[in-house]
């Protein structure tokens, strides 16, 4: 079936079985190999992308269900040359080990911060359910807090945009 996908702001014509998970279309047809396959059953989050800004596990999303929805992958997270604040925090805190889960971790964390600019530890525990087999959780947590602070500091002083500090 011919479809159009909008990935990282670009429109792609694809031909795929409608029930093919988005993950495989992204990886195999469009070359977005930063999106990772970990479990195929929505249990690990390695395949996390953004659908219109919200985190989604692409291994369990039929491609036909996302036609027309803006999709962002790890490759498109940064706006321009400058890495996203979450990516910067990841480097500053030296988060990745093997790195295989980290595309998904970063996408999930960026989505969390977009909706909750100052998450508590409990928020992070509840929202970041990605699996990291290398055990980088503590650094992920620290880096999320650091990215949150970085985003707040970088924001022009407008009246308490988005949420209060806890």
Q: Which residues bind ligand FES (CB under 6 A)?
A: 37-40, 42-47, 57, 59, 96-102, 132-134, 136
Among 132, 134, 127, CA closest to 148 = 127
Q: How far is the CB of 51 from ligand FES (least distance, A)?
A: 14
Under the binding rule (CB under 8 A), the answer on residue 14 touching another protein is no
* Beta strands, E only, the chain: 2-7, 10-15, 48-51, 54-57, 70-72
Under the binding rule (CB under 8 A), the answer on residue 34 touching another protein is yes
Q: Based on CB atoms, which residue is closest to another protein, 67 or 131?
A: 131
Under the binding rule (CB under 8 A), the answer on residue 28 touching another protein is yes
Q: How far is the CB of 160 from another protein (least distance, A)?
A: 28
Q: Say which entry of another protein, ligand FES, none residue 47 contacts (CB below 5 to 8 A, set by partner kind).
A: ligand FES
38 close to 133: Cβ distance less than 8 angstroms: no
What is d(CA 151, CA 85) in angstroms, rounded to the nearest whole number?
Answer: 7
Q: How would you label 122-152 residue by residue, b for 16+ Cβ within 10 Å and e otherwise?
A: eebeebbebebeeebbebbbebbbbbbebbb
For another protein (CB under 8 A), the number of binding residues is 57
- The single residue listed with the structure tokens 């970990």 is 38
- The single residue listed with the structure tokens 């369990």 is 60
Binding site for another protein (CB under 8 A): 17, 20-21, 24, 28-29, 31-41, 43-44, 46, 73-75, 77-78, 83, 87, 90-91, 94-103, 106, 124-126, 128-141
């Amino acid at each position: 079936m011919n479809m159009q996908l909008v990935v990282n702001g670009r429109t792609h014509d694809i031909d795929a079985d409608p029930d093919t998970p988005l993950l495989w279309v992204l990886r195999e047809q469009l070359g977005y190999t930063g999106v990772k396959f970990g479990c195929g059953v929505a249990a690990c989050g390695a395949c996390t992308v953004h659908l219109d800004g919200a985190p989604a596990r692409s291994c369990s999303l039929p491609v036909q269900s996302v036609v027309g929805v803006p999709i962002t992958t790890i490759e498109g997270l940064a706006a321009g040359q400058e890495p996203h604040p979450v990516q910067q925090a990841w480097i500053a805190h030296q988060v990745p080990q093997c790195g295989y889960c980290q595309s998904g971790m970063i996408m999930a964390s960026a989505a969390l911060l977009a909706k909750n600019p100052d998450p508590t530890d409990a928020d992070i525990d509840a929202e970041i359910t990605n699996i990291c087999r290398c055990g980088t959780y503590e650094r992920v947590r620290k880096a999320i807090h650091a990215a949150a602070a970085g985003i707040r500091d970088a924001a022009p002083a407008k009246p308490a945009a988005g949420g209060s500090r806890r």
